[in-house]
């Protein structure tokens, strides 16, 4: 199937769906040059121990190592831009009554592409919080203490600045998670893109949507458990399929199914 062809029943679904929920993972940012976590050879967790770099215990054991690793990822991010997949998702939002974008990514590329109200389940790497109190730390404070690795916290004498991301063993923000569950339970169509579906609770969102009666579509170059249980699986990268889906949704919003999308 090439990028111009979508299954007819998927086109119908894109035309009739009113409430759409989206779950994205590292794969949607791969074509912006941000490494994924679990892809063989290139995945971050193929090369680094997640418990050392992405856990409170790892940070406690070697704050400088963890800080420097996140600073490397931040530098990488500063040099990248959203890709056609991020842009397609931002555009797609206008074609439905509701469109809730839930992401596991901490890179902020969805917002940079223009998506609004993104539910960032795992936080955002650009922000910093205190390692002891979890209170936000201002950019001014960070700039004033930039030479320290990691900078101290203004909120606790034994605290350090750390990225505002969810580490292994830490709880997700409750309100964000509830909003994500609600979007999955209330949608007609759940679009999943670029996730291996290996991390809970994010990985359960497609099955919540399915159980509530929604259709599920997965976009991924490599099939996952989510692809296998989805109503449609589009094999290929996000930059190939997401623009096609956005275009089709746009055609659909100009007219009901069967009109060929012409203005009425």
Give the interface with ligand OAD as residue ranges (CB under 6 A). Answer: 25-28, 30-31, 36-39, 43, 50, 54, 104, 122, 166, 193-196, 198-199, 220-222, 224, 237-238
Strand pairing class (215-220; 161-165): unpaired
Find the DSSP H helices in the chain: 8-16, 27-30, 44-47, 50-53, 56-61, 63-78, 84-92, 109-112, 139-144, 174-186, 205-211, 225-229, 238-253
Smallest distance, ligand OAD to C-beta of residue 256, A: 31
Q: Which two tokens stand for residue 91?
A: 């555009």
- Catalytic member of 86, 122, 155, 210: 122
Question: Rounded to an integer, what distance in angstroms lies between the CA atom of residue 259 and that of residue 263?
Answer: 8
In the complex, the smallest distance separating the C-beta of residue 233 from ligand OAD, rounded to whole angstroms, is: 12
| Residue 113 token pair | 């592409």
Closer of 15 and 219 to ligand OAD (Cβ): 219
Specify the DSSP class assigned to residue 150. Answer: S
Work out how close the CB of 42 gets to ligand OAD at its nearest, in angstroms, rounded to a whole number: 9
Of the pair 194, 243, the CB lying nearest ligand OAD is at 194
Cβ distance to ligand OAD smaller for residue 151 or 197: 197
Q: Which is nearer to ligand OAD, 173 or 186 (CB)?
A: 173
Query: What is the closest distance, in whole angstroms, from the C-beta atom of residue 27 to ligand OAD in the complex?
Result: 2
What minimum distance in Å lies between the beta carbon of 248 and ligand OAD? 18
Please check whether residue 1 is in contact with residue 234, taking contact to mean a CB–CB distance below 8 angstroms. Answer: yes
Q: Is 44 helix (H, G, I), strand (E, B) or coil?
A: helix
Q: Is 122 a catalytic residue?
A: yes
* Residue number with the smallest Cβ distance to ligand OAD: 27
Using DSSP bridges, classify how beta strands 19-24 and 189-193 pair: parallel, antiparallel or unpaired.
Answer: parallel
Nearer to ligand OAD, 105 or 153 (CB): 105
How many Cα neighbours within 13 Å face the side chain of 14? 26
Q: Which residues are annotated as catalytic? A: 122
């Amino acid at each position: 199937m090439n990028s111009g062809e979508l299954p007819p029943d998927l086109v119908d679904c894109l035309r009739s769906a009113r409430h759409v929920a989206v779950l994205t993972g590292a794969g949607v940012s791969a074509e912006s040059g941000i490494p994924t976590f679990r892809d063989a050879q290139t995945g971050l967790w193929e090369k680094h121990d997640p418990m050392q770099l992405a856990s409170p215990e790892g940070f406690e054991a070697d704050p400088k190592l963890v800080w420097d690793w996140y600073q490397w990822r931040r530098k990488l991010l500063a040099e990248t831009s959203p890709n056609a997949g991020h842009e397609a998702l931002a555009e797609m939002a206008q074609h439905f009554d509701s469109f809730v974008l839930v992401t596991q990514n901490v890179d902020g590329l969805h917002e940079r592409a223009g998506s609004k109200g993104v539910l960032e389940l795992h936080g955002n790497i650009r922000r910093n919080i205190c390692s002891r109190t979890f209170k936000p730390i201002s950019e001014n404070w960070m700039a004033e203490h930039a030479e320290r690795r990691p900078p101290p916290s203004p909120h606790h004498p034994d605290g350090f600045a750390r990225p505002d991301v969810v580490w292994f063993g830490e709880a997700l923000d409750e309100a964000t998670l509830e909003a994500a569950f609600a979007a999955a339970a209330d949608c007609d169509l759940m679009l999943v893109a670029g996730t291996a579906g290996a991390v809970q609770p994010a990985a359960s969102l497609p099955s919540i949507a399915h159980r509530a009666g929604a259709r599920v579509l997965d976009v991924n170059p490599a099939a996952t458990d989510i692809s296998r249980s989805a109503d449609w699986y589009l094999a290929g990268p996000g930059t190939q399929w997401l623009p096609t889906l956005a275009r089709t949704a746009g055609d659909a919003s100009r007219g009901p199914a069967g009109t060929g999308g012409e203005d009425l």
